[in-house]
Structure 1
Amino acid sequence: MIPREVLATSHMPDGGGEIRLVRRGEEYSIMLGATELMNSRLSGSEEQLAATPCERIAGRARPAILIGGLGMGFTLRAALSRLAKDAEVTVAELVPAVVDWARGPLAHIFAGSLDDRRVRIFEGDVAALIDGARNAWDAILLDVDNGPGGLTREANDRLYARGGLAAAHDALRPGGVLAVWSSHPDTGFTRRLESARFQVEERVVRARGDKGPRHVLWFATRRR
C-alpha cells in the first residue's frame, strides 16, 4: 500500500480547524480532519461548475467571472479554456496557504493558470466581492464548502441563506449565472434559489467521467 505523506498544513480562519495537503503516490488531497475536501483525481464536477455558465454567457463582451474557492484549480482551468481573451476572472480564496500550494507542490496541476493575464487572485472571503455589488458579474461560481452549509466554516452559511442569495442575484448582470457545487442534494436550497427569483436547474454529475461519487450542481440564472 502506498503511504500518505503530509506535505503542508494550515488553518481555516475563525477556528475552523487544520487543513492538510496530502500526497499518496501521484494523487493529492486537501483534507479537513478526516474529510477529504478535494482530490486531484476527481475533477469532473468542478470542471462542469465552470463549463455550463461559460456556455450560457458565451458571446458577451469582457465577461467578468467570480470563482469562490481556488481548490486545485479545476474550475479555474475549465473556465479559462472556454472564455475569450478579453474575459476577467477573479478567484477568491480565503486561505492564503492554498494559493501557496497552487504555486508550489500543486503547480503541475495548475499548469500555469494562475499566471494567465485574465486571472486575479483575491485572498479573502468571496462574500466581500458579492455583498453590495450591483450588476458586477456575468457568472459567480461557488465551491467554498461541501455544499449549502458550513462544513468548513460556519460563516459560509450566509452565502446560501436568503440574504446571501439575494446579494448574489443583485451582483449578477441580467442573464448571469450563479453556479453552486455540493457533495449532496439539498431540496431546501433549491427552494431558496427559486425564492430569490432565480431560474434554477439542479444537475447530478459524477466526479470522474461516468464514475466516482455523485455531486450536485445548481445553475441559477438571473432572469433578464
Structure 2
Amino acid sequence: MLPWIQLATAQTPEGDRLRLLRRGDEFSIRLEGGNELMNSRLGGSEEALATLAFDQLAGQTAPSILIGGLGMGFTLRAAQAVAPPDARLIISEIVPELADWARQHMKAVFEDCLCDPRVELRVGDIGAAIREAGEKFDAILLDVDNGPDGLTRSENGSLYGEAGLHAARAALTPGGVLAVWSAAPDAAFAKRLARCGFAVTPHRVRASRSRRGARHTIWIAMRRP
C-alpha cells in the first residue's frame, strides 16, 4: 500500500493544526493527531447537501447561495452542476490556506471550479457572514465542522444554537432554504430548527457515492413566513 505523504499544513484561528496528505490520487485533510476531517473519496453526502437544497429552488431565476466551508469542493461542484447560469455562489472559508491547496496541491480534485464566474470565495467566518448579511440569500448551505453534535471548533456551536438559527432565518429570503450537513443525526437540533421558524425535513444519505458504508444526515429547513 502506498504511504501517506504530507503536502502542507495550516493553522485554524483557534490554533489547531490541519494537515493535507496525499496517497496516490487520494487526498485527506486531518487534524494534528490523526482525526480525519475530509477525504477526496467520500463526497457523496456533501454533494447531496447541494442537490437537495437546489431541489427546493427549481425554476428560480438568479438564486443567491451562501456556502459555509470550502472543504474539498464537493458541495460547490454539486451546486455548480445544477445551478442556473445567473446564479451567485458565495463560499465562506475561514482557513485561507484551503483556497491555496485547492488551486495547487488539489488541482486534480478542484480542476477549474473556482474560476467559474458565478463563484465568489470569501475568506472569513461563516457565522459572521450570516449575521452581517446585507443581502438576502435564497439558500444557505452549511458544511461546517462535523455538524451540530460533533464540533471540533467550539465557536461553530453558535451556528447551531437558537441565536445562530434565527440569524440564518433573517438572512434568507421568504421561503429560502437552510441546508445543514451533519456526521450524525440529532433530534434536538431538528426540534430547535422548528422552534426557530423552519419547516424541517431530515435526509439520511451515504457518505460514499458507492451507496455503501456510513450514512450522514442532511436537514433541509425551509423558512416559514
What displacement does 1:50 show?
0.2
Structure 2 residue 6 is the aligned partner of structure 1 residue 10: no
Query: Are the aligned partners of 2:150 and 2:183 in contact in 1 as well (CA < 8 Å)?
Result: no
Structure 2 residue 115 is the aligned partner of structure 1 residue 108: no
What displacement does 1:35 show?
1.3
Letter in structure 2 aligned against 1:207: A
Structure 1 segments unaligned to the other structure (5+ residues): none
Deviations along 1:18-72, one digit per CA (max 9) or x if unpaired, are: 0000111211011013211110001110000000111211222211000000000
What displacement does 1:153 show?
1.4
Letter in structure 1 aligned against 2:30: M
Quote the residue 1:46 is aligned against: 46
Deviations along 1:177-221, one digit per CA (max 9) or x if unpaired, are: 101111111111111101111000111111113112111111101
TM-score of the superposed pair, with normalisation by structure 1: 0.96
Letter in structure 2 aligned against 1:185: P
Letter in structure 2 aligned against 1:23: R
Query: Are the aligned partners of 1:93 and 1:123 in contact in 2 as well (CA < 8 Å)?
Result: yes
Q: Distance in 2 between matches of 1:151 and 1:176?
A: 25
The DSSP-based 3-state class of the residue aligned with 1:89 is: strand
Query: Are the aligned partners of 1:150 and 1:156 in contact in 2 as well (CA < 8 Å)?
Result: no
What displacement does 1:132 show?
4.1
Quote the residue 2:24 is aligned against: 25
Quote the residue 1:213 is aligned against: 214
Superposed counterparts of 1:1-224, under 5 Å: 1-15=1-15, 17-33=16-32, 34-133=34-133, 136-149=136-149, 151-209=151-209, 210-224=211-225
Q: Distance in 1 between matches of 2:198 and 2:23?
A: 41
What displacement does 1:134 show?
6.5
Q: Distance in 2 between matches of 1:158 and 1:202?
A: 21
Q: Distance in 2 between matches of 1:61 and 1:112?
A: 24
The DSSP-based 3-state class of the residue aligned with 1:208 is: coil
Q: Distance in 1 between matches of 2:213 and 2:195?
A: 32
What displacement does 1:151 show?
2.6
The DSSP-based 3-state class of the residue aligned with 1:177 is: strand
Q: Distance in 2 between matches of 1:135 and 1:53?
A: 19
Letter in structure 1 aligned against 2:25: E
Q: Distance in 1 between matches of 2:61 and 2:95?
A: 31
Query: Are the aligned partners of 2:49 and 2:181 in contact in 1 as well (CA < 8 Å)?
Result: yes
Structure 2 CA distance for partners of 1:87 and 1:93, relative to 1, 3 Å: same
Q: List 4+ stretches of structure 1 deviating above 3 A.
A: 132-135
Q: Distance in 2 between matches of 1:135 and 1:221?
A: 18
Letter in structure 1 aligned against 2:215: R
Structure 2 segments unaligned to the other structure (5+ residues): none
Letter in structure 2 aligned against 1:32: L
Deviates more, 1:53-62 or 1:96-105: 53-62
Q: Quote the RMSD (CA, aligned, Å).
A: 1.3
Deviates more, 1:148-157 or 1:71-80: 148-157
How many aligned positions are there? 223
Q: Distance in 1 between matches of 2:92 and 2:120?
A: 9
Q: Distance in 1 between matches of 2:31 and 2:61?
A: 39
Query: Are the aligned partners of 1:86 and 1:118 in contact in 2 as well (CA < 8 Å)?
Result: yes
